[in-house]
């Protein structure tokens, strides 16, 4: 690509997690900035584990008796243990990890690795701006980790938040103060959810912009081009694509009901974050070797999508695939991340796709999605958000 702008931008994103949404939003942030004709590199954070862990460990010690926090993490721990104790499961997860590693090495333009915040600060001093976003990067534990707060960036380098998510709907007074402190020297702030704007306003007294997730900055044909690089083909038979991250067995039962009604197969990404027994035997096809490009390809060619994932809902709308968005959490739960899906579907005008029960699912099955309206709303949202980003970078 020919660079027509002298601006240099570094991106602080979650590129190194085996999570489809995280990696795809990191990829999209880099690609969207390239579309603005700036020189862009994603910060390779893989050498910063010790520096980030110091603050994160302090957070966990402070919340040693927070039962909800540790209950939420228990599934991740069991997932790791099962990979070690169950050889077959370990091989399946190894295939997935290999696919992610291949995607990362192929699709990112990285900075050199650094081992400390001091080294990283010196590295990014040669850039005009550092952009943080999106995902759940301002979770309290990540605020404590100080990486996604851009603590290493010093003036005159600009700090910009694009579509960053807090991942929660409330913060303690301590973390509201920390939020006020780290946002005080940001040049431009935007978030992904309405609740994120509420938290910024509560912390700073100023309401910030709500913009689209980076994945929505790229048009359908750009994602279709990535899908074409998939190392596996989508099934020839029509299918329901399922991507469930939560443990609700009735979500899978709804997918089975949908597949039976329309004589479809079920293709499922199983155990993405934790081992869930209900994932083991409800689908016809489990593509263990699927990485981010393959995941996009499977959504693009699906007849229906059933998901409790924010990005599962995003890509269903981008590819205009009829979808059902299930709840992963109870709305009042301390670890609930429902707000991001609520904001997304409100903006796109299809909040009726949210399924909080089997009755709501069956009601949604009876209704068609007006994808002409969705496309129009998405284009407006994309253009407004891209203009915000361009202005924030002073381009």
**Cβ contacts of 132 within 8 Å, gap of 6 or more:** 11, 12, 13, 148, 149, 150, 159, 160, 161, 162, 164
| Full-model pTM | 0.94
**162-200 pLDDT per residue, tens:** 999 998 889 999 999 999 999 999 999 999 998 999 999
Supply the pLDDT for residue 330. Answer: 56
Q: 145 or 194: whose pLDDT is higher?
A: 145
What is the predicted pLDDT for the residue at 336? 45
Strand order through the sheet with 354-355? 265-269, 239-243, 304-307, 323-326, 354-355
Sign of the torsion angle spanned by Cα atoms 234, 349, 26, 199:
negative
Q: Which of 171, 206, 213, 166 has the alpha carbon at shortest distance from 186?
A: 206
> Residue 211 in contact with residue 389, Cβ under 8 Å?
yes
Cβ(233)–Cβ(285) below 8 Å = no
Tell me what pLDDT residue 259 has: 98
Q: Is the pLDDT of residue 334 over 70?
A: no
The per-residue b/e assignment along 283-304, b for 16 or more CB within 10 angstroms, e otherwise, is beebbeebbbbbbbbbbbbbbb
**Across 196-206, average pLDDT:** 97
Residue-averaged pLDDT of the chain: 93
pLDDT tens, residue by residue, 107-121: 999 999 999 999 999
Confidence band (pLDDT; 50, 70, 90) for 272?
very high
pLDDT band at residue 63 using 50, 70 and 90 as cut-offs:
confident
Whole-number Å distance between alpha carbons of 234 and 302: 8
**Mean pLDDT of all residues in 252-269:** 98
* Per-residue pLDDT, 333: 43
Please compute the mean of the pLDDT values over residues 131-154 and round it to a whole number.
Answer: 95
pLDDT bracket for residue 70 (50, 70, 90) = confident
Of 196 and 68, the structure prediction assigns the larger pLDDT to 196
| Bridge partners (DSSP) listed for residue 107 | none
- Coil vs helix vs strand at 326: strand
* Torsion angle (degrees, nearest 10) of CA 251, 255, 258, 261: -120
């Amino acid at each position: 690509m020919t660079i027509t702008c002298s601006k240099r931008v570094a991106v602080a994103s979650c590129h190194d997690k085996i999570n489809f949404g995280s990696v795809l939003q990191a990829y999209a942030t880099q690609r969207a900035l390239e579309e603005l004709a700036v020189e862009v590199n994603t910060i390779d954070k893989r050498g910063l584990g010790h520096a980030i862990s110091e603050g994160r460990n302090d957070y966990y010690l402070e919340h040693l008796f927070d039962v909800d926090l540790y209950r939420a993490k228990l599934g991740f721990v069991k997932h790791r243990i099962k990979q070690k104790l169950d050889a077959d499961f370990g091989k399946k997860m190894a295939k997935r990890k290999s696919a992610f590693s291949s995607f990362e090495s192929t699709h990112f333009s990285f900075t050199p690795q650094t081992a400390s915040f001091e080294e990283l600060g010196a590295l990014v001093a040669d850039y005009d701006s550092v952009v943080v976003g999106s995902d759940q990067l301002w979770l309290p534990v990540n605020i404590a980790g100080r990486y996604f707060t851009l603590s290493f960036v010093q003036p005159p380098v600009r700090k910009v938040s694009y579509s960053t998510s807090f991942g929660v709907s409330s913060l303690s007074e301590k973390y509201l103060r920390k939020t006020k402190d780290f946002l005080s020297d940001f040049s431009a702030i935007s978030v992904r959810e309405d609740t994120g704007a509420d938290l910024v306003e509560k912390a700073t007294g100023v309401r910030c912009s709500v913009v689209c997730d980076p994945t929505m900055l790229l048009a359908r044909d750009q994602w279709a081009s990535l899908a074409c690089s998939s190392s596996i083909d989508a099934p020839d038979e029509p299918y329901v694509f399922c991507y469930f991250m939560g443990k609700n067995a009735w979500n899978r039962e709804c997918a089975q009901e949908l597949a039976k009604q329309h004589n479809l197969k079920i293709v499922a990404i199983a155990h993405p974050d934790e081992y869930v027994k209900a994932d083991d035997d409800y689908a016809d096809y489990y593509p263990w070797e699927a990485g981010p490009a393959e995941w996009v390809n499977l959504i693009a060619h699906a007849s229906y999508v059933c998901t409790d994932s924010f990005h599962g809902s995003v890509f269903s709308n981008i590819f205009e695939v009829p979808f059902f968005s299930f709840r992963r959490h109870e709305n009042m739960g301390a670890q609930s991340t429902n707000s991001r899906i609520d904001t997304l579907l409100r903006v796109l005008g299809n909040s009726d796709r949210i399924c909080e029960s089997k009755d709501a699912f069956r009601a949604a099955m009876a209704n068609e999605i007006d994808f002409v309206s969705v496309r129009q709303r998405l284009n407006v949202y994309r253009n407004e958000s891209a203009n915000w980003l361009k202005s924030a970078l002073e381009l």
